[in-house]
Amino acid sequence: MYKQGDAEPILQLSGVHTHIGEYHILQGVDLVVPRGGLSVLLGRNGAGKTTTLRTIMGMWHASAGRIQFDGRDITAAATPDIAQASIAYVPESMAVFSALTVRENLYLAARNGPLDTQRLEWIFGFFPALRKFWNYPAGLLSGGQKQMVAIARAIVEPRKLLLVDEPTKGLAPAIINNLIDAFRELKETETTILLVEQNFNFVKKLGDTVSVMDDGRVVHAGPMSDLVEDRELQQRLLGLSLDSHQ
Ligand SMILES: Nc1ncnc2c1ncn2[C@@H]1O[C@H](COP(=O)(O)OP(=O)(O)OP(=O)(O)O)[C@@H](O)[C@H]1O
């Protein structure tokens, strides 16, 4: 768990509960995202990971608890204000405009003025496919390439925090390797990343810290290296068999 004395985290959820209609989905989530680097939120299907991201973004409102971002209480803030406070969100559905070109998708995502060409070159550096398909409708791209467009849209302007929901879902292993390289580059920048995943093999190479959710709560938090080294903990928390990955 987060230790007293560490630098102030960029994001902290304390005892967060979320109800969706009659369902009590988040049941006291305590989550700490340290400033800088890449944090991972793991957990089985239905553990509450997406609901946690949506609650951070104000798409569902917490019924109890507190969410602090960059020294500010955002628990009751509206989604546009949270986005304006410099959190970008890439949902599982990727939010790419299929009928628009890659170029138009990126231009539309720039809210604070025209696209910065230097930043665009920097994005092309780790997503070269975007340069290649710049004038193609995004709907024609592969799943992995669409994921790249979605992430590029989220970082087309500098953001303090990037939330990404299951970027590897449905992608072939070769494409996942490209994404690993891209996230390695990204995590060296000023943007802090919180990655929601079920694919442990993907995030174990990327995460600095990891939190694991089950039944609407965070049941484990610590350095990724601790979880990577402890096969029994993996089995207990993630249900991974001891020889399912190397
Ligand atoms: N709109 C909704 N209405 C009712 N229940 C919902 C709604 N959205 C999510 N849930 C329920 O909340 C629980 C947590 O879902 P959530 O999508 O947050 O889990 P998850 O950990 O992201 O899993 P997955 O990887 O399958 O998306 C699940 O039991 C799900 O059925």
Q: Does the residue 91 lie in any domain? A: no
Per the structure, the complete domain to which residue 71 belongs is given by 1-86+159-246
Asked if ipTM goes beyond 0.85, one says: yes
Q: What is the pTM of this model?
A: 0.90
CA gap 53, 95 in Å, rounded: 15
Write the residue with the smallest CA distance to atom 18 of ligand 1. Answer: 48
Q: Are residues 76 and 102 in the same domain?
A: no
Looking at the fold, whether 151 and 185 belong to one and the same domain comes out as no
Phi, psi of 138 (to 5 degrees): -60, -25
**Dihedral through CA 85, CA 93, CA 193, CA 57, nearest 10?**
30
Question: Distance from the CA of 119 to the center of ligand 1, in angstroms?
Answer: 35
Say if ligand 1 is within 6 A of residue 23 CB: yes
Is the CB of residue 56 below 6 angstroms from any atom belonging to ligand 1?
Answer: no
In terms of domains, do 222 and 242 share one?
Answer: yes
**Is the C-beta atom of 45 inside 6 A of ligand 1?**
yes
Same domain? 37 vs 151: no
- Whether residues 23 and 121 share a domain: the answer is no
* Number of structural domains found in the chain: 2
Given 109, 126, 158, which residue is the final one in a domain? Answer: 158
Do 78 and 22 lie in one domain? The reply is: yes
Q: Is the beta carbon of 43 within 6 A of some atom in ligand 1?
A: yes
Q: Last residue of some domain: 105, 133, 158?
A: 158
Note whether residue 92 is domain-resident: no
Strands 209-214 and 217-223: antiparallel
In order along its 246 residues, the chain shows pLDDT tens digits of 445 445 789 999 999 999 999 999 999 999 999 999 999 999 988 999 999 999 999 999 999 999 999 999 999 999 999 999 999 999 987 678 999 999 999 999 988 778 889 989 988 988 888 999 999 999 999 888 898 899 999 888 889 999 999 988 878 887 788 888 888 888 888 899 999 998 898 899 899 999 999 999 999 999 999 999 999 999 888 885 444 444
